[in-house]
Structure 1
Amino acid sequence: MKGHDIEVWSAGGDSSVSGKSSQKHFDEFALNKFGRIMKSAGVETLNCMKLAHYLPEYQRLFTKSDGSKVDFLEIGVQHGGSYRLWKNFFGEDLLRWTGIDINQKCLALNNQLAPEKGLVYCGSQADPVFLEDVASQRGEFDIVIDDGSHQSEHIIASFKTLAKHVRDGGLYIIEDVHACYWKGFRGDSDSSNALSYFLGLAHSLNVQATRHERCSKNLRPDELVTPPALIRKIELLPSMIVCHMGAPLPMIEWKAGMKSVIA
């Protein structure tokens, strides 16, 4: 396809996974509305780069919002092509997109957008004052996607500031988590890891248990972690973290039947 560049990452140099060729996997990843939008790009289309397996996940996650107005915040504008992806999926009249990038050149995209449709702000995703200012003007958000610097400390800083600005039931998604394993992205000590941070937040999903009368007195502080905003569910996928924001659902113990084999 003209205007497209595709690179396959394999675990061990084998072009097949689970008995399927990389081409077969790619075709399956692209067999959805997002795939059709990506394929429609040509040499004159603004560049949008996504790992192909994100596309069916976004189809699954965003279909519930299809047909509704969506307040969307994207960290990382870069070439400007991802706006086209979201616009064509949700519909230009339903999408209110906000982009953040540290590169001043990305502000040029504002020349092509009406503010009520989309608006780019220039600043650092690690600057809480900047993020709070953007959120005060454009939030609350239904979807936040972090496709920014991929620096672990920046990912964590952005989440700590922006998580509370996502509506109940909304999504906070971190792309390209693979960078956590690459030198230059792991943090000042080269040992911090954004994925490890979110794995730690998984303890907060069991807040009902830690507040139960039967709770152990020997829990570690990390098992009593308090997230910056309530999280209902965390999904971990290759190179992607999906936080479903909102109060955790109640744990309701249901006993059906009265007999037992050990009675």
Structure 2
Amino acid sequence: MTRSKRLLITGAATGIGAAGARLLADQGWELALLDRNAEALGQLASELQAVAYVVDVTDTVGYPHALRRAINELGGLDAAWSNVGMQTNGTVEQASLDEFDRSWEVNVRSHVILGQVAIPELRSNGGGVLLVTASNAGLQTESRMAAYSTTKAAAVQLVRLMARDHARDQIRVNALCPGFVDTPFNAPVWETYGGREAFLREVGEVVPLGRMSSAQEVALHVRFLLSDDASFLTGQAFAADGGELVS
């Protein structure tokens, strides 16, 4: 009998993370879910019968400890999806240094910590997959999003470096770069456009497909990038943005 693959997901409780967790659980993956939202995480873990740990990824002691405990409870690791992120609005002049620092902690350093814990586990397993949620904002310039775009660009470069360094370990590392996704995560962006309705009008103009994606659509891309169907893909920034980068 084929053993179920074991996957750790951070930022799992809501949005893209929760949609991906549900889809992958249906595909037979064994899941360990991490998030700081205790209520939503508990509900999802109960629904999916998954391992769950409440943790803040900016906790440099508690976070790696929770990762190791989750992997131990899974009995090993075949893949890890680092899905945490935060939005910060403003130009370089408007955003505070604290906002830049917090963006770095969440949008870059959290991926470094997960890589430091997950890569040795994947290597000992003979290989596997590390997926990082970045953003198409890391592949282009975004007005009034200096901290966000800068840190997402850093996340994409981190992915490329990890992919290069660990390809011989048979570890594939890719970045998922969504565009506008219809989840509360994008609420800070809506505010910069004067509210959700004004933002939707803007999306209709700048996104060739004329709309945001759903979390469920993005989950399908996650499933592909974690699967053996993507076995020859590594070091890639996979833009799921309705064509925004080419508009």
Verify same fold: TM over 0.5: no
Q: TM-score range by the shorter chain?
A: 0.3 to 0.5
- Bigger Rg, which one: 1
TM-score w.r.t. the length of structure 2 is 0.39
Looking at both structures, which has the greater relative contact order when contacts are Cα pairs under 8 Å and sequence separation is at least 6?
2
TM-score w.r.t. the length of structure 1 is 0.38
More helix by share: 2
